[in-house]
Every structure is written in structure tokens, then in C-alpha cells.
Amino acid sequence: MRAIVVLPPAKTSHELDLFRSMPEWDLTVVTGNGFGPDDAHHSLPTRRIPYLGSPQRWTAALAWHRGLADVEFPPADVVVSVELHSPVSTQAAKVARALGVPHVVTIWETLPDNPLYSLPPWRGTLRSLVESADGFVCFTERARTHARALGCDPSRCHVVHPGVDVERYRPAADGLAAPSVLLFVGELRADKGILDVIAACDDVHARHDDLRLVVVGDGSLRKRVETLAATRRFLDARGLVPRDAIPQMLRDSRALVVAPHRRRFWEEQFGFAYVEAMASGIPVVTTRCGAIPEIVPPVNGLVAEGDVTALASAIETMLGPRATEVGRVNRQTVLERFDLRRQGAQMADVLRRVVRQSRRRSAEQ
């Protein structure tokens, strides 16, 4: 079977990993110039504006591909696009109608009160997709709750968790690392909680002199973090590192520590860094922001957003002997729920079901 995947100008590698792991499916991938994978079949010029509230990050909040209607697509069984507020999804719906195949919208978003849904042109985009899409694949239960709150037919909403490569992300052969190195991986911006993590480590370092916090990422707070690193010998600000280096960095770490908190337009929607850490057999210390409690087992250090004292206490717990059992639970959780190959097969099954149902409805009309 063949799927046409039309992606907005945003980070797309994890979603494509899921589609590419589907057995017995061929993909035609469409994305925007300068975004997405280098091997996309069609990389189109894209018009876009900055995401409201964060001008330095370009996303799919208002973006559309130029020339999509002129692309000659091969025969396909389904067209897939991303998010209910994306104009690219309305473009994908037109492609699906032209080809006479069903249209499926994948959903990361978890906030039904996101202002984008009540403002033009996103309001019209939402309404048309809710009415016309043949299926909605939600990447968390929280995303499905959000989709249903927006009016999506519950019978057409399916949950498929994304996955990670459990061979690439695996525990260290000699067990959990010594209790000294913590790892932060993520954008260096306020709502990812990097400053809360550093403040918590200030507290913990007073009792654990050998503590180190390795910070990987870039963003608006990078200079602030580097300034703090100059006055804290435990803080190692690495900036961006090659993606291929992350698996070994996780195996060399005692725990992953990230402390996101919700803002008006965003909350944690899935959190690949958490799942990669769990697959690597290490504990996670984080907040109960958004979908995190659905993804990260409660044996980990889950604390209230913004509670630096609780964050420090959870870090200290994971420096002790309990961490080994937490890491074991995490690894088993990923094998059961977030194995990329298993999740790819689940996605393939959902798309086949949507295709069958669409064909059945067409035959009955």
C-alpha cells in the first residue's frame, strides 16, 4: 500500500520514523524547502509566519506549500497530514479528494483552548478538517481528548503512540552510570524549565559535590545558561551536539532531568527525550506537564510544575539505589509501549482500517 505524507515546515524526523517503520507500505513524502528530511520526494516552496509568542521558531501555525496542486502523485491509498490547525492539512485534503482516497490528520496538539482554534484563518481550517477528514491519528490519549473536544468524530479518532529505536537507545552493558552525571536535552527556553533544573541542581550540589549537569540544546536562554555555567563548576553547557551522540550520552548519565511548564500556546505533547532516556534504562525526573504522566511511569520523579524544591528532592532520590529499579521499569515500558517497529505496525493497521472503511462507505453511496 502507499501513503502520501504531506508535512508542514516543522521538525518532522520522529513522525517520519513512525511512517517509515510501517511494514508493507511505500511513502511519498512532501515537505517545505529547508525543512524535513533530505530524501523527501517533493520539497516545495513554503510561505510561513513565526509562531505567535515565539518569533524565533518557525512552525506550521500559518504555513502553506506553493505548487502542491501541480505535483503529479503516484496512485495512493491514503493521504496523511499534520494537525487540525494547519493550512497544509487543508491542502492535503484537496490532494486526497483529487486522488479519490481518504485523508488522515495526525495530531500532537493537546490544548483545545489554544487561541489558534478561535481565530481566522485557523478557525476555518479546523472546521473544515473536523468535518471532512476520514480519520484522526492522535499520538497520545490526551491528544484524542483534545480532538474530541473540538468536535472530531470519536469513532474516527485512533491513538498510536510514536516510538523509538530500542536497539539504538539501549541500556549500558555494565548497568546504570555512577550517581554523578545528570543530562538535560531540549530547547533552552523558559517553558522547558532549564532554569528550574539548574536551580534544583544548585541545591543538590551542596550535598553531592561530585554532581554534574550536562546541558544539550540551543534556544533563547543559551547565553544565560552559558553565563551560569561560568559560575557553577557542576554545570557543563554543551550547546548543540550531533544527534548520533545522544544515545551514548544517555547511557553515560544517571538520569534525564527536564522541567517543562505549560504556557498559553503549549504544553508537553509527548516528549521523545523522555522515551529515549527510558529506552536507555535510566530514570527521568520531570514535571507533570501535559501528556508526560501518560508517557513516563510514576516510579520516576514526577513533580508539580515550577516546584524547584520537589525537583531537587526527586533528583536526589534518583542518585540513590532506587534508580536501578526505575531504569529497569522504564526499559520494559518502552519495549511494551514505544518500540518503533511495534508502533509502526500499529500505525499501518490503523491506516488500513481507515482505507477499508472509506472504500466501504464509497461502495454504499
pLDDT for the residue numbered 53 = 45
183-241 residue pLDDT tens = 999 999 999 999 999 999 999 999 999 999 999 999 999 999 999 999 999 999 999 99
DSSP class of residue 339 equals B
pLDDT for the residue numbered 22 = 96
Would you give the distance in Å from CA 126 to the centre of its chain?
21
Any long-range contacts for 115-120 (C-beta under 8 Å, 24+ apart)? 115/52, 115/264, 115/265, 116/52, 116/61, 116/85, 116/265, 117/84, 117/85, 117/150
DSSP class of residue 18 equals H
Is the per-residue pLDDT at 58 higher than 70?
no
89-107 residue pLDDT tens = 999 999 999 999 999 999 9
pLDDT tier, 55 (very low <50, low <70, confident <90, very high otherwise): very low
238-258 residue pLDDT tens = 999 999 999 999 999 999 999
pLDDT tier, 11 (very low <50, low <70, confident <90, very high otherwise): low
| Cell digits of residue 78 | 491514503
Q: What percent of the chain has pLDDT over 70?
A: 93
280-333 residue pLDDT tens = 999 999 999 999 999 999 999 999 999 999 999 999 999 999 999 999 999 999
pLDDT for the residue numbered 170 = 98
118-157 residue pLDDT tens = 888 889 999 999 999 999 999 999 999 999 999 999 999 9
Mean pLDDT of 152-164: 97
**Is the model more confident about 265 or about 351?**
351
Residues 6+ apart with CB under 8 A from 291: 110, 140, 141, 142, 143, 267, 268, 269, 270, 271
